């Protein structure tokens, strides 16, 4: 028996909310299954019509991989209900020798308009991190001049890992997927991609159908989502050690926090100008490099490892002009001090958001006061869960 509770209608309801973003509705998105049975045998013995009504899409294709023992490939695109996985689990014997090779776990935050969705995406990226982040930076793909596929929106997609990674994470704006191939309203999607047996076993228990049917996606979110905010004051003090402030300095230059924040913003502005090709737009690059904890963590780790680009101009006297890492090393401890964790806000089964702890509230850089931005009320979230 699986240690996870059944994925019934209650586990498909949101149990967590991100501060400033909204309720997270869990679901399995695209799941790929390879089988030793032929395409004809699967179409004849599986309840295809029932699966097509329960899924957004259901396809049985010919397997074209290197394994000669496999003959078919099943691609299931799910929605917010668990019916497809329960149906497949009931007909598991029909699949023969099979395994799940890829599963996408998605969490949707409904949005009332494209502007609300865009703001929600930037707010999410400004808090989003990833455990064991291998790439060390965020990559954005945005093609505003191209016609997007059905259900997609001409807005940027943020990737935290390469496509070849076993555990990928990305965030983007799209239309909600409905059973039968339809689409609903706009949403901001946070999506993990698990590829291979090792990743599937670690995060959902295994690569068989019953693990999907019994997966607790809300528990997965709690274990794997990393939210934090950037403390620009601490970041400025890390990159540029504080100096003595002259007693006659005017306001606000006599405030050490203001000086540290300004120094951090100047450094991040240079980072945004250097990485503008990764985002395709200067404004997007600046907002991401200024607020994204994943982007700034990767930059600080690059400095720690000595990958800082050399300064232009004639070299100065080394005894006077030395890099910060020569006399004040950047360590993991000092990097962690530049970020403050943000906790998920728990939500009851009736959609009521419980009171958030101070760590759950996004904080303005260099200030201890929380944002005035509010989470949607319980009445709004029960029916729509939209971004305000």
Q: What is the dihedral sign for C-alpha 116, 118, 122, 128?
A: positive
Two tokens at 361? 């509230």
Task: Provide the pLDDT for residue 355.
Answer: 53
Query: What share of residues in the chain are helix, strand, coil (percent, to 5)?
Result: 35, 25, 40
pLDDT for residue 383 is more than 50: no
Going by C-alpha positions, the residue among 226, 147, 154, 237 that lies closest to residue 190 is 226
* CB neighbour list of residue 314: distance below 8 Å, 6 or more residues apart: none
* CB neighbour list of residue 367: distance below 8 Å, 6 or more residues apart: none
Task: Provide the pLDDT for residue 317.
Answer: 55
Q: How many helices (H) and strands (E) does the chain have?
A: 15, 15
d(CA 172, CA 384): 19
49 phi-psi bin (left φ>0, alpha ψ -120 to 50, beta other): alpha
Two tokens at 178? 């409905």
Task: Provide the pLDDT for residue 379.
Answer: 37
The mean pLDDT value of the chain amounts to 84
Task: Provide the pLDDT for residue 352.
Answer: 59
Q: For 203-240, how does the pLDDT look when each residue is reduced to its tens digit (9 = 90+)?
A: 999 999 999 999 999 999 999 999 999 999 999 999 99
CB 340 within 8 A of CB 359: yes
Task: Provide the pLDDT for residue 258.
Answer: 95
Residue 323 vs residue 376, higher pLDDT: 323
Whose tokens are 């395709």? That residue is: 280
Where exactly are the structural domains of the chain? 16-227, 232-309+321-337
In sequence order, which ranges of the chain are alpha helices (DSSP H)? 39-45, 48-54, 83-90, 114-125, 197-204, 209-213, 217-224, 232-239, 256-274, 276-279, 282-291, 293-304, 324-327, 332-336, 378-383
* CB neighbour list of residue 335: distance below 8 Å, 6 or more residues apart: 238, 297, 300, 301, 304
Task: Provide the pLDDT for residue 378.
Answer: 36
d(CA 367, CA 349): 34
Task: Provide the pLDDT for residue 10.
Answer: 42
d(CA 85, CA 205): 15
pLDDT for residue 172 is more than 50: yes
Q: For 49-95, how does the pLDDT look when each residue is reduced to its tens digit (9 = 90+)?
A: 999 999 999 999 999 999 999 999 999 999 998 899 999 999 999 99
Helix (H, G, I), strand (E, B) or coil at 4: coil
Task: Provide the pLDDT for residue 377.
Answer: 36
Band of pLDDT at residue 33, cut at 50, 70 and 90? very high
Per-residue burial over 112-143, b if 16 or more Cβ lie within 10 Å, else e, is: beeebbbbbbbbbbbbbbbeebebbbbbbebe
Task: Provide the pLDDT for residue 146.
Answer: 87
What percent of the chain lies above the pLDDT cut of 70? 80
d(CA 378, CA 348): 10
* CB neighbour list of residue 2: distance below 8 Å, 6 or more residues apart: 205, 210, 211, 214
In angstroms, what CA-CA distances link 373 with 127, 128, 212, 251? 14, 18, 36, 28
CB 117 within 8 A of CB 387: yes
Q: Whole-model pTM?
A: 0.81
Task: Provide the pLDDT for residue 326.
Answer: 53
């Amino acid at each position: 028996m699986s240690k996870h509770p059944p994925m019934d209608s209650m586990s498909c309801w949101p149990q967590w909310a991100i501060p400033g973003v909204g309720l997270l509705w869990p679901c399995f998105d695209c799941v790929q299954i390879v089988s030793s049975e032929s395409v004809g045998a699967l179409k004849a013995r599986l309840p295809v019509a029932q699966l097509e009504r329960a899924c957004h899409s259901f396809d049985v294709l010919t397997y074209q991989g290197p394994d000669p023992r496999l003959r078919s490939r099943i691609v299931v695109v799910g929605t917010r209900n668990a019916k497809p996985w329960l149906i497949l689990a009931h007909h598991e014997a029909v699949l023969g020798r099979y395994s799940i090779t890829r599963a996408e776990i998605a969490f949707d935050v409904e949005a009332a308009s494209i502007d609300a969705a865009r703001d929600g995406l930037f707010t999410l990226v400004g808090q989003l991190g990833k455990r064991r982040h291998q790439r060390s930076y965020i990559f954005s793909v945005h093609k505003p001049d191209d016609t997007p596929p059905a259900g997609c929106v001409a807005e940027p997609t943020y990737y935290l890992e390469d496509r070849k990674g076993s555990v990928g994470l990305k965030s983007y704006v799209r239309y909600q997927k409905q059973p039968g191939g339809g689409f609903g309203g706009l949403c901001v999607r946070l999506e993990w991609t698990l590829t291979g047996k090792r990743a599937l076993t670690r995060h959902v228990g295994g690569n068989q159908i019953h693990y999907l049917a019994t997966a607790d996606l809300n528990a997965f979110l709690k274990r794997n989502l990393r939210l934090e905010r950037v403390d620009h004051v601490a970041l400025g003090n890390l990159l540029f050690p504080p100096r003595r402030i002259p007693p006659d300095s005017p306001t606000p230059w006599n405030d050490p926090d203001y000086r540290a924040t300004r120094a951090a913003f100047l450094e991040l502005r240079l980072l945004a100008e250097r990485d503008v090709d990764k985002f395709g737009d200067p404004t997007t690059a600046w907002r991401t490099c200024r607020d994204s904890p994943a982007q700034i963590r990767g930059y600080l780790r690059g400095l720690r490892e000595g990958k800082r680009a050399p300064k232009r101009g004639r070299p100065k006297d080394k005894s006077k002009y030395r890099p910060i890492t020569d006399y004040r090393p950047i360590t993991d401890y000092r990097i962690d001090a530049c970020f403050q964790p943000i906790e998920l806000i728990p939500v009851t089964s009736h959609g009521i958001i419980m009171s958030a702890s101070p760590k759950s509230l996004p904080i303005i850089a260099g200030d201890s006061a929380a944002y005035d931005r509010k989470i949607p009320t319980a009445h709004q979230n029960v029916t729509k869960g939209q971004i305000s």
